[in-house]
Amino acid sequence: MNMGDTDIKPDIRMVRIALLIALGVSMHLVESMIMLPIPIPGVKLGLANLATLLALYLYGVQDGILVAVARVFLGSLISGLFLSPAFFLGLGGGVFSTIIMGLFMRWRCFTVVGVCIAGAAAHNFGQLLVASLLLKSSAVAYYLPFLLVASIPTGLFTGFAMKPLLLRLKRAGILT
Amino acid sequence: MTRGDKLLILLILASSLLSGYFLYFHNSNKDASHQAVISVSGKIVQRVSLSDSTPSQHFRINGKVGETIIAVAGRKIRVENAACVNQICVHQGWIERAGESIVCMPGEVVISIEGVTGVDAVTR
């Protein structure tokens, strides 16, 4: 029985990562259809980030980044935005926020809500950095205060969505 | 939520207010004359001075995804029409303070307002 266990475990991880990427891509697409009624570019609910977060909590930073990067690649290929500014913004924001969330996860003084808020702020900040590089202009800095404020409600949203998810994963014994 | 979470929220709020103060109010003088700088992919394509005597006018700018129509009225400037999908730049409406900007990411069009100090050069 033990033999079988060790044979199956890496496959389960791969299947779960694949599922999370598929989930991330579909939420990425759903999210691009939802228009938040605020005239600030780059503000999103962070639905797609849920997949990245699950990968982070299940398997750590490396797999979190894998899910984030794969999601942006596939999502932009499907929506026809591959190599467009939106693609680079998503990639920069996604990778930067995953690294920051991985960092905040280690600090015990934060719950998943804090991790999500930090991730949302890092995502918006990373996006602005990429935007200023793409546009070769610092004018985008004007959006920074608005994007930082916006990261609080969106971070709270994903944080409180993650709470029951993590609880269920723990009850099912998937997450230790 | 733990105390750490709440502290983080406060920290983000504070840094937002602080950066907002420096970017927005710090260098905006309502009486000074302003200049709108329009650029595409980092290259400046047009400069418009914004003052009460500026006549209402329109500019057609060729962005990365198509034509952007920019309207100027007195001290204010806005994007009237853009070829992008999400139209965030159009919804943003008029801007008029130094330091404000409108960014159309798909078209890589940036409109930013710069304050003009009133003197072009100082000689000694």
The fraction of chain A above a pLDDT of 70, given in percent, is: 92
At A127, which CATH number? 1.10.1760.20
Domain membership of residue B47 as a residue range: 31-115
Listed as ranges, residues in chain B with pLDDT below 50 are none
Helices (H), A34-143: 49-59, 61-79, 85-106, 112-135
Among A5-9, A76-80, B20-24, B45-49, where is mean pLDDT lowest?
A5-9
Q: Which of B5, B15, B25, B40 to mutate to test the interface with A (most CBs of A within 10 A)?
A: B5
> Cβ B105–A139 below 8 Å, yes or no?
no
On whether residue B120 sits in a domain, the answer given is no
Domain membership of residue A65 as a residue range: 2-171
B70 and B23 in a common domain? no
Half-sphere exposure of A144 (CA within 13 A, CB side): 26
Chain B residues touching chain A at CB-CB below 8 Å: 1-5, 8-9, 12-13, 15-17, 19-20, 23-24, 39, 41-42, 86, 88-89, 91-93, 99-101, 103, 105-106, 108, 110-112
Confidence of residue A175 (pLDDT cuts 50, 70, 90): confident
Tell me how far apart the alpha carbons of residues B36 and B46 are, in angstroms, rounded to a whole number. 8
- Residue A5: predicted pLDDT: 54
Contact residues on chain A for B92, CB-CB shorter than 8 A = 39
Size of interface A-B (CB pairs under 8 A): 103
B50 and B21 in a common domain? no
Judge contact between A93 and A123, C-beta under 8 A.
Answer: yes
Give residue-wise pLDDT tens across range A107-161: 999 999 999 999 999 999 999 999 999 888 888 888 899 999 999 999 999 999 9
Question: In angstroms, what separates the C-alpha of A110 from chain B's closest C-alpha?
Answer: 5
> Cβ A144–B19 below 8 Å, yes or no?
yes
- Residue B119: predicted pLDDT: 52
On whether residue A176 sits in a domain, the answer given is no
Continuous segment of H or E residues that includes residue B8 = helix B3-20
Q: Are strands B57-62 and B109-115 parallel, antiparallel or unpaired?
A: unpaired
